[in-house]
A and B are shown apart, each in its own frame.
Chain A
Amino acid sequence: MSHHHIDVRYVANLARLELTEEEITEFQPQLDAILGYVDTLTKLDVSGIDPTAHPSPVFGRMRDDEPHESLPPESLLQNAPDQAQGQVRVPKVVTDA
């Protein structure tokens, strides 16, 4: 945890986020400063401490697997930016053979 540096362009690509050159220039020092601050955590010895993923005393409960009514397809499709034949339409995801 002593890096204090994020490769903004690389990580943005992992997050499927395009950034302008201006944004990369702006975010780089800001993110490095935040990461530097976060590194104060290393001062704490946490060996032997269990992680908390969840603040509730009870979690991971399952509900009964009973069929129930779902939202109709048209109400879910109403917000799709592009649709056809009851489906969401997207650019071609496979290349021609």
Chain B
Amino acid sequence: MTSRTQGELSNEYEFQTMSIAALRKSLAAGETTPARVLEDLAAKIPETDAHIGAYLSHDLEAALAEAAAADLSLPLGGIPIGLKDNINVLGQPCTCGSKFLAENYKSPYDATVVRKLRAAGAIPFGRLNQDEFAMGSSTENSALQVTRNPHDPERIPGGSSGGSAASVASGTAIATLGSDTGGSIRQPASHCGVVGLKPSYGRVSRYGLVAFASSLDQIGPLTTTVEDAALVLQAIAGHDPNDTTSLDVPVPDYLAGLHDGVAGLKLGVPSEYFGDGIDPGVRSLVETAIQKLAAQGAEIVPISLPHTQYAVAAYYVIAPAEASSNLSRFDGIRYGHRTSNPSDILDLYRKSREEGFGSEVKRRIILGTYVLSSGYYEAYYGHAQKVRTLIRKDFETAFQNVDAIVSPVAPTPARKIGACEGDPLLDYLSDIFTISANLAGIPGISVPCGTCDFDGGSKLPVGIQILGPHFGEAKLLQVAKAAE
């Protein structure tokens, strides 16, 4: 690996590490070894990452043991991959950014994505910070540490996969996995200037991902290039008997058509994604990126996704409802935090959860419990599920006429740390362009499209979002490659 300037924060991408594709060539040519790659990354953690705070933990010794046996002929042979701290790796911590699991939890098994990464030759290395239980879009809700945006340390990296994005952006990771429930891969990728892919619901097994909202969650890669995102997706996609929601559909070759370009493809531009709330710098960069795709031969088609304005409201019924149910497992009995000296079993549940969970998690548990409670279930949860159908149908109709949809990822570049303190609703509204893809189950990718000034900050990265039909990742990556 080439050596980079350490410890200095700059506004340039130059401190990003080399791509998986380039590193593979370097490994094949014998210019470096998997062990040296790992040692270089580990050396950057106390230097560069001390300013960023992406890593919660790492186990160099365990990774080096795997590196010694690395098979460089495999598609990801000897490549270290960082993991969001909600993906289980046998014997490693899995805190989910929560005090609840930070004390003494060690994973008793490997997530399927980890097993598949290893089968492709990759080495899991490093546990990356996140909003607690993936609830948030800033990584400020981590109970464990602050993660800063490598492009401006006063700003958020985005979230909830903030550590996964910030590590790739600051060159302390080659590629990482995150999870995306409402934009948690794409939005931090946009804010940090890296590529982030949320696959279709059912494309990647969720077995071993600590569940937030089971009908929305999906694991995906954060990388420096679109080609790398295709490489990692290739490794982790496919049916898993341990996750009944992962579909038994053949995995295509995501690299085969990657360079086919956009000539002749129809790209939809939804009017609802370019309204008043969008920052002028973001609008200008995304529009320029769309013009470049048009110059490469894509046909730009104005479209409408008429129920977009209801997506955030539907999401904040459905996601907390599923979360309140999923998080009932954190009761202080089998794993995680248990209060000391409870008076009885109910007291044990209540106090363990009070002590272990942070504010955002508590708010969402209460909201979710409320919308599922007797008398309110149909008015809130039932109603939101029907709105979800309308949002899904918006996309189905659109994809009858276009190959992909292009839009901003987030209304603004990264905001300052603390800017939404005490006003969770304000933060929720920033997910407006990413949430619909989760409700509809379709894939989406964020690709860097330039930098702009925003709220006193300069040269802040902005991503363009490309959305495709269900299981349409191959064409999605093809468009993303052309937009890169």
Contacts and interface: CB of A to CB of B under 8 A. Distances in A.
B414 to A, nearest CB: 23
Given A23-B359, A55-B392, A33 B425 contact: yes
Contacts of A53: 215, 385
Given A16-B349, A41-B313, A63 B244 contact: yes
Contact of A49 (B313, B357, B390): B390
Contacts of A59: 244-245
Interface string B385-422: 11111101000000000000000000000000000001
Contacts of B367: 6, 31, 34-35
Given A15-B366, A16-B349, A44-B390, A38 B215 contact: no
Contacts of A39: 313
Contacts of A23: 359, 362
A84 interface: no
Contacts of A38: 313, 316-317, 380, 384
B191 interface: no
Given A40-B310, A44-B310, A79-B335, A15 B365 contact: yes
Contact of A15 (B248, B313, B324, B333): B324
B86 interface: no
Contacts of B215: 53-55
A26 to B, nearest CB: 7
B345 A14 contact: no
A97 interface: no
Contacts of A56: 201-202, 245, 247, 441, 470
Interface stretch (B104-112, B136-144, B151-159, B255-263): B104-112
Most buried by B among A8, A11, A62: A11
Contact of B241 (A51, A54, A63, A78): A63
Contacts of A57: 470
A17 B366 contact: yes
Given A1-B380, A52-B389, A56-B441, A79 B105 contact: yes
Interface in B276-295: none
A21 interface: no
B459 interface: no
Contacts of A52: 385-386, 388-389, 392, 439
B370 interface: yes
Contacts of A35: 367, 370
B377 to A, nearest CB: 12
Chain A at the B interface: mostly helix, strand, loop or mixed? loop
A7 B159 CA distance: 30
B49 interface: no
A44 B241 CA distance: 39
Say which size band chain B's interface belongs to.
35 or more
B425 A11 contact: no
A38 B380 CA distance: 8
B109 A71 contact: yes
Interface string B350-392: 1101100101001101110110010000011011111111101
B297 interface: no
A18 B348 contact: no
Most buried by B among A31, A40, A56, A60: A56
B348 A82 contact: no
A63 B314 CA distance: 31
A53 B385 CA distance: 6
B425 A34 contact: yes
B106 A81 contact: no
B389 A91 contact: no
A42 interface: yes
Interface stretch (B55-63, B67-75, B336-344): B336-344
Interface of B: 104-106, 108-109, 201-202, 215-216, 241, 244-245, 247-248, 307, 309-310, 312-314, 316-317, 324, 328, 331-338, 342-351, 353-354, 357, 359, 362-363, 365-367, 369-370, 373, 379-380, 382-390, 392, 422-425, 428, 438-442, 470
30 contacts: A1-B379, A6-B367, A8-B366, A15-B365, A15-B369, A17-B350, A17-B366, A20-B354, A23-B359, A34-B424, A37-B425, A37-B428, A38-B316, A41-B313, A41-B314, A44-B307, A46-B387, A46-B390, A55-B439, A55-B442, A56-B201, A59-B245, A60-B244, A63-B244, A75-B108, A75-B109, A78-B108, A79-B335, A80-B334, A82-B338
